[in-house]
Amino acid sequence: MGMDKEINDSLQKSGIRRDVDVSQLSLSKKKLTSVPDVSRFPFLRELWLNNNKIRELSCRSINCCLTELYLHNNSIKSISGALNHLTCLRLLLLHNNQIRGLDDTMHELRRMQQLQTATFSLNPISHEPGYRLHVIHCLPSVQVLDGKEVKPTERRKSFQTHSQERHRVLQSVAFCRRAG
């Protein structure tokens, strides 16, 4: 109940009277330990939940049309089962958490075809071997990863590394040889 009052107070200060008028909501630095229910905001597009104490991630109450989600500087250990319905995301900031399991994390985000900017740095997954190329392969729409532009050479290397059989066939077709 306390979070609802805080959300309502914030909206009132902003002069917003109706839930349908909320397109941005900042809940940064509120000492949150979980994601609040924001399902009452059908046109919410940008949500700031950064700089809290969130450990478990459950975002089922977040509108699937969300385009920006700020979850950095929390204590999140896994995003599995929490974000896969957010297929309209263009920006996802998850740096400085405790996220482990690179394959599970990328599997969760596989449906995000519009994701252009993502951060995973300062998480255990960012230290896994081949991390950057793996993310580029799994999230081909990403243009900026961990604050650095994704270069065409990285895309090619990612494709070669993670699609070796397909790359071999394409090379053989390109040079009129049989793949074999």
Q: What is the mean pLDDT of residues 105-126?
A: 97
- Residue where the block lists tokens 């977040």: 62
User: Distance between CA 38 and CA 60 in Å, rounded?
Assistant: 9
Give the β-pairing of 148-149 and 144-145: antiparallel
Is residue 140's pLDDT more than 60? yes
Is residue 174's pLDDT more than 70? no
Task: Tell which CATH classification among 3.90.1640.10, 1.10.760.10, 3.40.190.10, 3.80.10.10 matches the domain 2-148.
Answer: 3.80.10.10
- CB-CB contact of 32 with 52 (8 Å): yes
Is residue 167's pLDDT more than 60? no
Give the CB-side neighbour count of residue 153, counting CA atoms within 13 A.
Answer: 0
Is residue 180's pLDDT more than 60? no
Domain segments of the chain as ranges: 2-148, 150-180
**46-78: pLDDT as tens digits:** 999 999 999 988 877 788 899 999 999 999 999
Q: Which of 34-38, 75-79, 143-147 has the lowest mean pLDDT?
A: 34-38
